[in-house]
Structure 1
Amino acid sequence: MLAAAMIAALAAPPPTVTTEPVPQPLPQPRRTLDLPSPEVVVVLAHPDDELVFAPALPVMAREGLSIHLIFATDGDQGPGVSGMAPGADLAMKRRMEGFCSGMALRVDIVGPLALGDGTLGLRANDPQSAANRLAERLKPYLADAVTVITWGPDGGYGHADHRMVSAVVTQLVQAMPAEKRPRLLYPALINTPLPEPLASQGWATTAPDLATVRYRYTAADLAAANKAAQCHRTQFDDATRAMIVPGFDAAVWKGEVAFRLAF
């Protein structure tokens, strides 16, 4: 899940408007048309993780790419500002918030996998661990993908579930033969220095020369991202939701969402 303090720390000047989309093109699908597999698979730990690179998803959708977004957990231990107790009711609420965000970003939500918030790193080498169950469930979704997006090894700001999702997805992709291996992308924060509150929370940056995949977004893409942010009512109050996307636009993305290739 996103650190609420990260978002609260960002200023909210008017968003940058890019009049012409100039996305980094994705490779053409390597699958036949009769296979119902998506071109792009996004694997994240919790509903709201997608906000870190949200404008890139409607850019891809506008290119005609089909996108599946998979959350490993429902975020059932993260009540945010809701006042709800951790557990099944919160999980259902956050699951619905994830579906709402997916609709705004023009992606299909797959799941729920519901592996348990905060459990992905527990006894990871146990055959029945949440991490190994995640790996087994992901295999069919990744088999025909052209591009896969997940957290980088830093997990954004070191969150254990984020890091484990990254490790599991990377392990699966690196084992695939070259002719079937999808392109694996990690979101990259390249505009440094980060504002001091973000740096103090441990948010990791990526050297710009490594972030070779960039998606320039338009005002419409920012609007879609903002609509997605409004879905996560359990996690952020009204004022914070209103400035998530303008804040990221001004201090993090600065006109384009960056990714780095895993290998």
Structure 2
Amino acid sequence: MTDQSPTRTAEAAPIRLEVEADGVAVLTLTRSAQRNALSLGMMTAIEAALEQIAADAAARVVVLRAEGPAFCAGHDLKEMRASPDRASYEALFAQCSRMMTRIVRLPKPVIAEVSGIATAAGCQLVASCDLAVAATTARFATPGVNLGLFCSTPMVALSRAVGRKHAMEMLLLGQMADAETAYRFGLVNRVVAPEELSDTVMGMARIIASKSPLTLKIGKEAFYAQVEMPLDDAYAYASRVMTENMMARDAEEGIDAFINKRQPVWQGC
């Protein structure tokens, strides 16, 4: 991207991507009439947007939000039933898993801004993000069990975001959880009034965007790598990461700036 205007916008239905001048990339789901259900087209568009964000040095943090009363109602069930064969289902769930993994492996933090319902794969989408902020009006569920279809792929992200007992409660009961319950379970970081949601999320995003992009990349990658390791292996790995990080120019700049009581100037290297 070379456009230097304050805000650069690239539209590709069913999403909208805007990269703000302060380094915040806002990715908006725009299938509000379909409750932002994850159609094949939407998942393809999200993947493409994430690739674009990954390659854009100006984008340092991502805010994922949605238009309409629903954040994301999960998979598009009508689309799924239109091709009721094994190959279609395998391709669909493989694409969804690839998209969710892309969020985790994106070298930039992703914040979910949740103002409505997030159910099934929509709840999975929230759980896959690095941070999540919910309005008091938000609701969360993995209701597949009610339809005879256990939320097995949402379970992967959910069980890594919340405790096992809480994850199983959501998966087995299939009931809606309010925002305060989601906060208590650890699915979201904060719960705020609807009118405060956007400002809260953008405030967090701008704080993150002010950090060294190299440090953010190193930190996010290291977090997800070490959390799956045994304790001794995790410390050995993290020690190697810290050593490499200390050799970076941004680490030298940050420490020197702290010692000399000035603002650091990040170079991303």
For Structure 1 versus Structure 2, the TM-score category normalised by the shorter chain is under 0.3
- TM-score of the aligned structures, taking structure 2 as reference length: 0.26
User: In proportion to residue count, which structure has more strand?
Assistant: 2
- TM-score of the aligned structures, taking structure 1 as reference length: 0.26
